[in-house]
């Protein structure tokens, strides 16, 4: 059976560029799926014009880009074959048909990978777009320990076999695409990038990205983890300080161990329930967290004693410095090891 290529386009309040893109893709033998994400009656003529040559799916109200992508993938999962491929593109004309074809071709050569059409952000690029991508690129590199040049691209291609994995990723709005990259890192799914043109039309006026609300959605897990770590730090630091004042420097390791045991229990409970929203059994995540806590405790104590005994740093300043050093390590291990969701492999 001949392989089918599906083009999935989530659309919210689009203009004529959606019709132009759909017509071009249809002419090039793509099966085009458009998801109207609650655009409203004013945009019905645009979708009606496209409906004659695409499959149109509709949300009665706006649910977000992630939800629209999932609606489209659920539909494709019901009709697509194991050897078929999907490419997602934005409705605003920023993804050229030739770049869509290039990304899909690369995906066909690497069916086990998620393939990104990555912009170089050269030439005349909006400052907010350049800065936004730079921030997310570096945050992703820090947390996932791998580099992706364009974390915000909506041009992505993958095998239909990857759809169950992608549907398992949390997120309904713009945060979904970042969550997909983090899930790929967590599940060791390869991420491949192919260069595409950086296209901004009319100063990117058609974008519905809301800088503050949607940035919060993208980074809220990181912020929540930071808040949880701060609570754990307050418990740890307060108990350590009280015990150190009572016992003195001679029993500093014991003070640190006791404080860490209490704060680790608090931190585990908060992270499991509220940060990573882990639905698995405690019997699965608790041993992993205990192993992490033991490793962090050993590292914490060694660094603390090095700073106090070798560098003669004030014990309270040394404790604060140690916690800051181990913060990122703890997040990464909990995200990708302790509370990682066991998603289906593509």
**Can you read off the two tokens belonging to residue 87?**
């490419």
Distance CA 96, CA 197 (A): 8
Helix (H, G, I), strand (E, B) or coil at 193: strand
**Residue 237's pLDDT is what?**
84
Contact status, residue 176 vs residue 169, Cβ threshold 8 Å: yes
Per-residue pLDDT of the chain (346 residues; tens, 9 = 90+): 678 999 999 999 999 999 999 999 999 999 999 999 999 999 999 999 999 899 999 999 999 999 999 999 999 999 999 899 999 999 988 899 999 999 999 999 999 999 999 987 555 555 555 565 667 777 777 666 778 888 889 999 999 999 999 999 988 887 888 889 888 887 889 999 999 987 755 544 445 445 555 455 556 666 665 677 778 878 888 888 898 888 876 787 888 788 878 887 887 887 777 666 666 667 777 788 788 778 877 888 888 889 888 888 888 788 888 877 787 677 667 766 676 554 444 4
Task: Tell me the C-alpha distance between 346 and 340, whole Å.
Answer: 16
In the three-class reduction of DSSP (H, G, I as helix; E, B as strand; rest coil), residue 87 is classed as strand
Distance CA 115, CA 106 (A): 7
Question: Which segments of the chain are extended strands (E)?
Answer: 5-11, 31-37, 55-59, 85-88, 114-119, 156-159, 191-196
| Burial class of residue 41 (count of CB atoms within 10 Å of its CB; 0-12, 13-18, 19+) | exposed
Q: Are 44 and 66 in contact (CB under 8 A)?
A: no
**What does the alpha-carbon distance between residue 336 and residue 314 come to, in Å, rounded to a whole number?**
34
Token pair, residue 201, equals 């039309």
- Domains of the chain in start order, with CATH, are 5-209 (3.90.550.10), 220-338 (no CATH)
Q: What is the pLDDT of residue 343?
A: 42
Distance CA 113, CA 105 (A): 12
CA atoms within 13 A on the CB side of 93: 14
Structure confidence at residue 345 (pLDDT): 41
Task: Report yes or no on whether pTM surpasses 0.75.
Answer: no
């Amino acid at each position: 059976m001949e392989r089918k290529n599906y083009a999935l386009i989530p659309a919210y309040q689009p203009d004529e560029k959606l019709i132009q893109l759909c017509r071009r893709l249809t002419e090039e033998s793509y099966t085009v799926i458009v998801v109207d994400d609650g655009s409203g009656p004013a945009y019905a003529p645009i979708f009606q014009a496209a409906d004659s040559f695409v499959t149109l799916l509709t949300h009665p109200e706006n649910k977000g880009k992630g939800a629209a992508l999932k609606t489209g993938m659920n539909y494709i999962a019901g009709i697509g074959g194991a050897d078929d491929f999907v490419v997602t593109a934005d409705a605003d004309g920023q993804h050229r048909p030739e770049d869509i074809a290039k990304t899909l071709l690369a995906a066909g050569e690497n069916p086990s990978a998620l393939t990104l059409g990555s912009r170089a952000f050269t030439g005349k690029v909006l400052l907010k777009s350049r800065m936004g991508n730079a921030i997310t690129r570096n945050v992703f590199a820090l947390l996932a320990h791998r580099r992706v040049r364009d974390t915000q691209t909506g041009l992505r291609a993958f095998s239909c076999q990857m759809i169950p994995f992608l549907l398992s990723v949390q997120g309904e709005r713009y945060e979904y695409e970042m969550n997909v990259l983090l899930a790929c890192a967590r599940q060791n799914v390869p991420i491949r990038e192919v260069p595409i043109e950086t296209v901004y039309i009319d100063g990117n006026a058609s974008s519905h990205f809301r800088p503050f609300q949607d940035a919060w959605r993208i980074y809220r897990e990181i912020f929540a983890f930071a808040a949880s770590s701060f609570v754990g730090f307050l418990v740890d630091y307060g108990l350590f300080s009280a015990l150190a004042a009572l016992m003195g420097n001679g029993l500093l390791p014991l003070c640190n161990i006791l404080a860490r045991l209490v704060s680790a229990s608090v931190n585990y409970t908060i992270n499991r329930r509220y940060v990573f929203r882990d639905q698995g059994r405690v019997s699965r995540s608790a041993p992993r967290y205990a192993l992490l806590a033991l490793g962090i405790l050993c590292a914490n104590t060694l660094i603390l004693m090095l700073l106090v005994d070798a560098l003669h740093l004030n014990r309270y300043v040394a404790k604060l410095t140690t916690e800051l050093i181990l913060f990122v390590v703890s997040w990464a291990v909990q995200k990708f090891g302790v509370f990682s969701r066991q998603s289906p492999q593509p």
